[in-house]
Structure 1
Amino acid sequence: MPEDARGELIDGRFDYRLQKDGRVAVTWYGRPVTTLAGQDAQKFLKKMDGLDEHAAQLAMARVTGNFKRGNEKGR
């Protein structure tokens, strides 16, 4: 079963922005959801590098915790 079976992440609802202090702000429809700092921020940025749009949406959904519970795995 695909992780986004209902196609809910197609619209690009999640986004992220690197801040001057090195933190990463993850937003949902432009509203702040979570902020990553330090090693978590660096790990997130490294993971995002090279992902296509859909895979990036899935990764941001996971990091915010706004993801259907069940079969997702931390990768």
Structure 2
Amino acid sequence: MKNIDKRNQLDEEPFSYVTTKSNTVFLRYEGKDIKVLKGRQAEQFLQKIAGANSVKEEQLILAKVTGNFKRGNER
């Protein structure tokens, strides 16, 4: 895990998520919604998060699920 987050950006915990009653998952980056997971994708995500051993591992899972959403023109 040391080689994955070389700049220690995940230590700041920029990612978060919210789950609704209907098992819809909203993924957030610095408080802004960036992706919505529904159905099977949401179930798989929740299983992965439940298996995380640490906060940093949760952050890594969230980063991988969100993908490459930053393109340089965000404000």
Q: TM range, normalised to the smaller chain?
A: 0.7 to 0.9
Report 1:9-28 matches (<5 A): 9-28=10-29
Query: Could you tell me the TM-score, scaled by structure 2's length?
Result: 0.82
Which whole-Å deviations, capped at 9, do the CAs of 1:19-43 have from their partners, x for residues lacking one?
Answer: 1221100000110010101010000
Q: Between Structure 1 and Structure 2, how many residues are aligned? A: 67
User: Could you tell me the percent identity over the aligned residues?
Assistant: 34
Q: 1:8 maps to what in 2?
A: 9
Task: Write the letter of the residue equivalent to 1:63.
Answer: V
SS in 2 for 1:16: strand
Report 1:33-48 matches (<5 A): 33-48=34-49
2-side partners of 1:34 and 1:22: how far apart?
Answer: 14
Query: Could you tell me the TM-score, scaled by structure 1's length?
Result: 0.82
Unaligned runs of 5+ residues in structure 1 are: 68-75
The Cα RMSD (Å) is 1.5
